[in-house]
């Protein structure tokens, strides 16, 4: 990076540190913070959409649909997220490739499962084995987002389900009295009114989602924890221009600060949103006191 | 609702795939761990480096393949191979019977090399009954569990070394080639405490259904053995005393 | 070997009773169910004790956070912020590091680097922070009327807290606290995964699940088994907490009991 970095052995003190902190590896580390933030930014709305679908399904009149929604909420919430992450990505990947295989290679005569191997026709591979690495990374990222969304979608479904039931019955009955159809009541009254009840739960869920990101490295995404571990591990002079001992402590300290700062920021923003949404609501929060559970 | 989303996502991904299909020839994706010097590690630039990087690039050149390097966590390195996320494992993997039942191995490119114990210099350590650290899921962890010693398992190789340094474990058992540079550069803090032979040599792992690729790599490895270039590589990365072909 | 024999050999393997060596070839479904179930003992141990001890610290933190004196309030706020604001995984890392350094100070600290104590302490502090925040929220919404009524009865200080405020606080916090308990039990799977080393292959349910995934190279059997166990465990937690909830609300008229359920379930 800097011109004086050509011979790191001759440096010490601050110049050494400056060179050390600007190696290509460190750049990848800094970039991974962006990866995590982008992932959060994409996952949150997708998970919310999953949650909305799940909650709507769970309160559907059509029984099988309600069972499906409730089953989704109960099963996914009952399983530790880590257990999901450990096999879900491979399962999703195989499911996608299997679907593509059925569509793209109808004439393929070999079995897909050959012993332990999962073999689809080359055209069905995801991404194609010839595509550049960047597509593989994007695909891996996409799978991670989807997995996170499925898991946290179940939690947000639970919150939204509770929120939908918390909307005062009188409001819905009034809507009916005005001659609204159930569909209109749902979209015009229930959905706008439920957010204030859902917000405390969703805020908490957001906090939990932030703190679940260290598990990203299980999903094959090279995230901040992957790089912090890699960079912090002891380095020998034979394999690196910047040999050092076990520095994981410092890297984890940096992560700790990052997470604390991010949490603080989220708290401040969420408090403002809550204040805004509470405005004009007939709840404790709306009339001036801070609302709790 | 899930199905719909999957279908939509699949359609999207297919569109992206088709556009890219035409531009490349046969590409082989090489899966490695990237955390086990000198076999494979991530260098300062953030790229895969090490003995296996150099070997793999040369093998691909000889076999006329375009190769792409991918890193993957050690724990899931075999499931991801059989599920087709990459085409080979080249990650210092010893040939064992258990692994051979699930995947195929090419010819060995590193002769069976010993595993070694490392302890704090000057300590008396009972390797038979003491506390021995090893990385989870390695043949060494297996070996210690079977012996009378108390096994203590860590997720990464670095942590096993740290455990010896801070006294949690009496010694660590790992590949000698991995330990050698660490002992060398420890300024006398660490020393070898003994060797054992576990497992066979190191080879590339390839899907059982991928015989054609296996043959290509076998031919390339054989040619490197014959012209002595493999020996030169071994010497370069593992020192002058490295076992040769 | 019949399945009963497997259960006899491996049912208590996770706490060191039974066969010394884990199965290493010809893995049966029975072995996987038995060993993963055996590991669940540790998850239940960590979850139960952390929750039990954490409950008391959480109450103290909630009261502390509501205190007027900044010398009590600030430490409580910071404690809750740090433990709620950082991933458990990083807390485990620092705790292990700290306990290791303490170990060289005095042999008193020797057991702290073992998971049964060290990880329990981390989980205890972690759940105390989360529950403390939940309790604090509930404390803030205890109806004024109840407190004024207690004052009118001449109750003061501790009596008022123990007989009026605390029960109401618990009643209000209970749905959210149930969720915290579920999360805590799930979080126990991180202990051996990224926190503390496993000794002599004694680990929790996830440890054995990944052992089998590693040996059979097939993640699609052990992890779903693990998931199944945890769904049962979660149902059990919901059941137990539901019973307590009924007891906490037993004085309320039926209509209000029903309404409790309609409250949004706040997670953590």
Can you give the residue ranges of every domain in chain C? 28-262
List the single residue in C with minimal CA-CA distance to A200.
C266
Best B155, B162, B172 residue to mutate vs chain C (most C CBs within 10 Å)? B155
The answer to whether C264 contacts chain A (CB < 8 Å) is yes
Distance (Å, whole) CA B13 – CA C1: 48
Percent of chain B with pLDDT over 90: 48
Q: Does C165 touch chain A (CB under 8 A)?
A: no
**Residue B236 confidence class, pLDDT cut points 50, 70, 90:** very high
Asked if C219 lies within 8 A of B145 by C-beta distance, the reply is no
**In terms of C-beta density within 10 A (0-12 exposed, 13-18 middle, 19 or more buried), how is residue B151 classed?**
buried
Nearest CA in chain A to C231: A78
Show me where the domains of chain A are located. 23-215
Place of tokens 């209509």: C255
ipTM of the prediction greater than 0.95, yes or no: no
- Within a domain: B186: yes
Q: Which residues of A touch C134 (CB under 8 A)?
A: 293
Kindly report, residue by residue over A60-87, the tens digit of the pLDDT.
889 999 999 999 998 998 999 888 888 8
What is the number of domains present in chain B?
2
Q: What is the pLDDT of residues A142-172, one digit of tens each?
A: 999 999 999 999 999 988 998 888 888 888 9
How many residues are there in chain C? 268
| Range list of β-strands (E), chain A | 113-114, 117-118
Confidence of residue B9 (pLDDT cuts 50, 70, 90): very low
Domain boundaries C28-262, corresponding CATH code: 1.10.3720.10
- Both tokens of A284, joined, read 């404790």
* Cα–Cα dist B183/B191, whole Å: 6
**Is the predicted pLDDT of residue B151 greater than 90, yes or no?**
yes
Question: Three-state DSSP class for C32?
Answer: helix
Q: Which residues of A touch C85 (CB under 8 A)?
A: 207, 259-260, 263-264
Q: Is the confidence at residue C15, as pLDDT, over 70?
A: yes
C-alpha neighbours within 13 Å on the C-beta side of residue A25: 25
Chain B, nearest residue to A121 by Cα: B84
In a domain, B77, yes or no: yes
Of C86, C137, C233, Cβ closest to residue A260: C86
Domain A23-215 CATH class label: mainly alpha
**CATH number, position B216:** 3.40.190.10
Residue B205, domain extent: 27-112+200-238
Nearest to residue A88, comparing CAs of A226, A204, A215? A215
Name, in order, each residue with C-beta under 8 angstroms of A24's C-beta and a sequence gap of 6 or more: B44, B45, B46, B47
Query: Do B66 and B174 have their domain in common?
Result: no
Q: How confident is the model at residue A199 (pLDDT cuts 50, 70, 90)?
A: confident
**B148–chain A nearest CA distance, Å:** 30
Is pLDDT above 50 for B23? no
Question: Rounded to an integer, what distance in angstroms lies between the CA atom of residue B104 and that of residue B209?
Answer: 9
Note the pTM of the prediction, 2 decimals. 0.88
Q: B119 and B169: one domain?
A: yes
Residue B7 has pLDDT above 50, yes or no: no
From A151, A182, A180, select the one nearest A87 (Cα to Cα).
A151
Closest C-alpha among B138, B143, B130, B175 to residue B154: B138
* Phi-psi domain of B28 (left: phi exceeds 0; alpha: psi -120 through 50; beta: other): beta
Q: Are residues B49 and B102 part of one domain?
A: yes
What are residue B115's phi and psi, to 5 degrees? -95, 155
What is the rounded average pLDDT for all residues in chain A?
A: 86
Asked whether the beta carbons of residue C197 and residue B133 sit closer than 8 angstroms, the reply is: yes
Instruction: Identify whether residues B92 and B209 lie together within a single domain.
Output: yes
> Are the Cβ atoms of C201 and B154 closer than 8 angstroms?
no
- Give the list of residues 6+ apart from residue A66 with CB closer than 8 angstroms, or none: A57, A58, A59, A60
**Is residue A12 pLDDT above 80, yes or no?**
no
Residue B82 lies in a domain: yes
Q: Place C254 in a pLDDT band, splitting at 50, 70 and 90.
A: low
Query: Closest Cα to residue A155, out of A73, A49, A42?
Result: A73
Tens digits of residue pLDDT in C27-75: 899 999 999 999 999 999 999 999 999 999 999 999 999 999 999 999 9
């Amino acid at each position: 990076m800097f011109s004086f970095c050509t011979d790191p052995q001759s440096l010490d003190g601050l110049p050494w540190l400056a060179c050390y902190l600007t190696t290509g590896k460190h750049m990848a580390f800094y970039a991974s913070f962006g990866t995590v933030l982008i992932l959060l930014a994409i996952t949150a709305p997708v998970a919310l959409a999953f949650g909305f679908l799940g909650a709507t399904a769970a309160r559907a009149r059509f029984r099988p649909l309600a069972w499906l929604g409730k089953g989704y909420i109960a099963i996914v919430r009952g399983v530790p997220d880590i257990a999901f992450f450990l096999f879900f990505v491979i399962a999703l990947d195989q499911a996608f490739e299997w679907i593509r295989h059925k569509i793209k290679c109808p004439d393929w005569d070999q079995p897909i499962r050959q012993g332990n191997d999962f073999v689809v026709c080359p055209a069905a591979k995801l991404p194609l084995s010839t595509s550049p690495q960047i597509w593989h990374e994007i695909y891996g990222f996409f799978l991670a987002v989807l997995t996170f969304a499925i898991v946290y979608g179940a939690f947000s479904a639970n919150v939204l389900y509770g929120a939908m039931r918390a909307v005062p019955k009188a409001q819905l009955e009034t809507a009916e009295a005005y001659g609204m159809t159930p569909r209109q009541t749902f979209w015009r009254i229930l959905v706008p009114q439920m957010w204030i009840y859902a917000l405390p739960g969703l805020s908490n869920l957001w906090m939990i989602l932030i703190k679940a990101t260290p598990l990203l490295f299980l999903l094959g995404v090279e995230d901040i924890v992957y790089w912090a571990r890699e960079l912090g591990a002891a380095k020998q002079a034979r394999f690196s221009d910047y040999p050092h001992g076990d520095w994981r402590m410092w890297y984890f300290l940096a992560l700790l600060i990052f997470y604390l700062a991010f949490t603080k920021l989220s708290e401040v923003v969420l408090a403002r949103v809550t204040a805004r949404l509470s405005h004009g609501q007939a709840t404790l929060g709306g009339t001036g006191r801070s609302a709790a559970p | 609702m899930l199905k719909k989303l999957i279908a939509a996502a699949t359609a999207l991904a297919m569109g992206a795939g088709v556009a890219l299909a035409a531009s490349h020839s046969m590409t082989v994706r090489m899966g490695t761990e990237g955390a086990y010097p000198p076999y494979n590690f991530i260098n300062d630039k953030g790229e895969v480096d090490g003995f296996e990087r150099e070997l793999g690039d040369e093998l691909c050149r000889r076999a006329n393949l375009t190769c792409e390097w991918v890193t993957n966590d050690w724990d899931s390195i075999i499931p991801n191979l059989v599920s087709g996320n990459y085409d080979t494992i080249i990650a210092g993997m010893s040939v064992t019977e258990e692994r051979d039942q699930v995947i195929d191995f090419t010819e060995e490119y590193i002769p069976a090399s010993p595993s070694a114990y490392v302890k704090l210099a000057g300590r008396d350590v009972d390797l038979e009954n003491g506390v021995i650290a090893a990385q989870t899921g390695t043949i060494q962890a297996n070996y210690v569990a079977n012996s009378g010693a108390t096994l203590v398992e860590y997720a990464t190789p670095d942590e096993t070394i740290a455990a010896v340094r801070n006294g949690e474990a009496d010694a660590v058992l790992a590949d000698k080639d991995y330990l050698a540079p660490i002992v060398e550069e420890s300024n006398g803090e660490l020393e070898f405490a003994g060797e054992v032979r576990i497992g066979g040599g190191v080879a590339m792992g390839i899907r059982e259904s991928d015989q054609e690729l296996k043959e290509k790599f076998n031919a390339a490895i054989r040619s490197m053995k014959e012209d002595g270039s493999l020996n030169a590589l071994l010497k370069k990365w593992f020192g002058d005393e490295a076992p040769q072909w | 070997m019949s399945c009963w024999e497997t259960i006899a050999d491996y049912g208590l393997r996770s706490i060191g009773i039974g066969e010394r060596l884990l199965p290493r070839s010809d893995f049966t479904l029975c072995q996987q169910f038995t060993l993963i179930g055996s590991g669940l003992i540790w998850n239940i141990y960590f979850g139960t004790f952390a929750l039990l001890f954490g409950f008391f610290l959480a109450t103290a933190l909630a009261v502390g956070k509501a205190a007027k004196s900044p010398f009590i309030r600030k430490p409580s706020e910071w404690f809750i912020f740090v433990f709620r604001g950082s991933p458990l995984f990083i807390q485990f890392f620092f705790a292990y590091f700290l306990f290791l350094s303490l170990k060289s100070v005095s042999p008193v600290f020797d057991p702290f680097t073992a998971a049964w104590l060290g990880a329990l302490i981390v989980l205890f502090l972690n759940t105390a922070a989360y529950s403390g925040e939940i309790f604090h929220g509930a404390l803030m919404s205890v109806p004024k009327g109840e407190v004024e009524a207690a004052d009118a009865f001449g109750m003061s200080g501790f009596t008022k807290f123990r007989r009026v405020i605390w029960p109401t606080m618990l009643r209000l916090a209970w749905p959210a606290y149930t969720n915290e308990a579920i999360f805590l039990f799930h979080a126990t799977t991180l202990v051996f995964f990224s926190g503390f080393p496993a000794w002599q292959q004694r680990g929790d349910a996830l440890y054995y699940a990944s052992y089998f995934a590693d040996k059979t190279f097939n993640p699609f059997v052990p992890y779903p088994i693990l998931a199944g166990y945890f769904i049962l465990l979660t149902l059990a937690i919901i059941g137990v907490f539901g019973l307590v909830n009924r007891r906490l609300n037993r004085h309320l008229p039926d209509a209000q009991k029903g309404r409790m359920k309609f409250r949004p379930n706040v997670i953590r």
